Amino acid sequence: MSSVAPWLAVVGIGEDGRAGLSPAASAALDGAGLVIGGRRHLELAGPLSAETLAWPSPLSDAYPAILARRGQPTCVLATGDPFHYGVGAELARLVPAGEIVAYPQPSAFSLAAARLGWPLAEVACLTLHGRALERVIPHLQPGARLLVLSWDGSTPKKLAALMSERGFARSRLTVLEAMGGPRERRRTGLAATFSQDEIDPLNTIAVEVVAEPDARVIPLSPGLDDAWFESDGQLTKAEIRAVTLSALRPRAGQLLWDVGAGSGSIGIEWCLRHPANRAVAIEAREERAGRIRRNARALGVPDLQVVVGRAPDSLAGLPAPDTAFIGGGVSDPALVAAVLAALPRGGRLVANAVTLESEALLLRCHAEHGGTLRRLSIARAEPVGHLTGWRTAMPVTQWALAKP
């Protein structure tokens, strides 16, 4: 517990400015010697007698000035609820919670749900502010309702175009602009025909998802269709991929190393299991690294990190993994040793082998370290002339280990 009395007030402010502040929030604002916020926030809170500081770009450039005032009354202004995709969470990483007093107001999500009569607990709340548009893709599920914070006035049109391209053209988008103030406006249109112009940069998009029969919906289970991945043939096939994800046993917030990533399918599906999951795809070939990046964006995990280089040398300096996967070309005992060394106690390693040489290495690893071995064989029905027969894929030997 901090020995310093609360000195940093984090005040949520809406489009109604000072009129919407509680007496306690107004007192914290008026008693501060320094007020920090966006230019719009400072205007809404005016008139101010204190010293003011408009957020620089990046925001982190202002953190030293805030921390230098520790113990002196200081106020940070934010939009709505500062701890819901706001600056409050960042400040709480720098300043002990006992030194912060927060005065939140309704978030944009709360305001939008109230305007539309949507139960907020049943809505996916997302932000595209400073984030890639493709992050919305996994949430495009038939019948879903989304509330999305925009980056700027161009976001609604871009989102409508992305949804139309992916088979969600009949979805309804409602753009709620400058909620809570005199400039508030609401406009609605279908993704296919969305043509609203001059949208206020401060907007939230409400989406009612409607999927066409051929819409590309990201399933909740692993094993995406192989055709969804751009590939040069280096791809863990759907059935093997599903079993491999099961062997990796993803947990929320974990980091995966996908070593020898090929098309990136394992790392991508790892990230799709939970929005907090992260992955680093390590790939020796630049052209394959480019494919991984394109696949990650197309399948809704644009934040997947790609490292170009040959392992194990390229592993140096990477954040330590919770779990690791080594693909079917594993042949270097030094690589297995390096990955094992990087894992924490209890961290999982899964390796797949398709060649006899790779299988022999996994047999030795199993003899030395333990774990489990299994052989996976898949056959698919394919045309044989005018008839149909089974075509068996190369069997895969899989070794899985929880590091002791």
Query: For 339-387, what is each residue's pLDDT tens digit?
Result: 999 999 999 999 999 999 999 999 999 999 999 999 999 999 999 999 9
Strand partners, 255: 278
Q: What share of the chain is helix, strand, coil (3-state, %, to 5)?
A: 35, 25, 40
What does the alpha-carbon distance between residue 389 and residue 6 come to, in Å, rounded to a whole number?
74
Give the model's pLDDT for residue 374. Answer: 96
**Is it the case that residue 14 has pLDDT exceeding 70?**
yes
* Distances in whole angstroms, Cα of residue 156 to Cα of each of 2, 141, 174, 200: 44, 18, 9, 11
pLDDT at 382 (0 to 100) = 95
H helix count then E strand count, the chain: 11, 19
**What is the rounded CA–CA span in Å between residue 331 and residue 382?**
32
Structure token digits, residue 105: 């107001």
**Residues forming beta bridges with residue 401, ordered by sequence position:** 349
Structure confidence by residue, pLDDT tens digits, 104-139: 999 999 999 999 999 999 999 999 998 999 999 999
262 close to 288: Cβ distance less than 8 angstroms: yes
Cα–Cα distance, 379 to 34 (Å, whole number): 69
Q: What is the mean pLDDT of residues 325-345?
A: 93
Mean pLDDT on 322-349: 94
Residue 3, pLDDT above cutoff 80? no
Instruction: Report the C-alpha gap between 352 and 292 in whole angstroms.
Output: 19
Q: What SS3 state is found at 197? A: coil
- Strand residue runs (E) in 67-210: 74-79, 100-103, 124-127, 145-149, 172-177, 185-190, 203-208
How many residues belong to the chain? 404
Instruction: List, in sequence order, the alpha helices (H) in 218-370.
Output: 238-248, 265-272, 286-298, 333-342, 356-369
Strand locations in 161-208 (E): 172-177, 185-190, 203-208
| Cα 263 from Cα 273, distance rounded (Å) | 18
β-partners of residue 79 are: 13
Count Cβ atoms within 10 A of the Cβ of residue 341 and give its class: 0-12 exposed, 13-18 middle, 19 or more buried. exposed
Verify cis geometry, omega within 30 degrees of 0, for the bond prior to 222. Answer: no
Confidence of residue 186 (pLDDT cuts 50, 70, 90): very high
CA distance 297 to 135: 8
pLDDT of residue 197: 87
SS3 of residue 391 by DSSP = strand
**pLDDT exceeds cutoff 70 at 2:** no
- Of the CA atoms within 13 Å of residue 40, those in its CB half-sphere come to 12
Beta bridge partners of 54: 37
Beta bridge partners of 175: 187, 205
Cβ distance 116 to 101 under 8 Å? no
pLDDT digits (tens, 9 = 90+) for 189-238: 999 999 988 999 999 999 999 999 999 999 999 999 999 999 998 899 99
Beta carbons within 8 Å of 299's beta carbon, 6+ residues apart = 137, 218, 224, 228, 229, 268, 272
Q: Rounded mean pLDDT of 381-396? A: 94
Q: How confident is the model at residue 246 (pLDDT cuts 50, 70, 90)?
A: very high
Residue 264: both structure tokens together: 């990136």
Return d(Cα 117, Cα 376) in angstroms, integer: 50
Q: Name the nearest CA neighbour of 253 among 338, 340, 323.
A: 323
Take residue 145 and report the two structure tokens written for it.
Answer: 């309702």
Residues paired with 35 in a beta bridge:
52, 75
> Residue 1 — very low, low, confident or very high, per pLDDT cuts 50/70/90?
low
**The Cα angle at residue 383 between residues 382 and 386, in degrees rounded to 5:** 160
**Terminal C-alpha separation, the chain:** 35
**Residue 86's pLDDT band (cuts 50, 70, 90):** confident
Nearest CA among 247, 257, 254 for reference residue 311:
257
Confidence of residue 331 (pLDDT cuts 50, 70, 90): confident
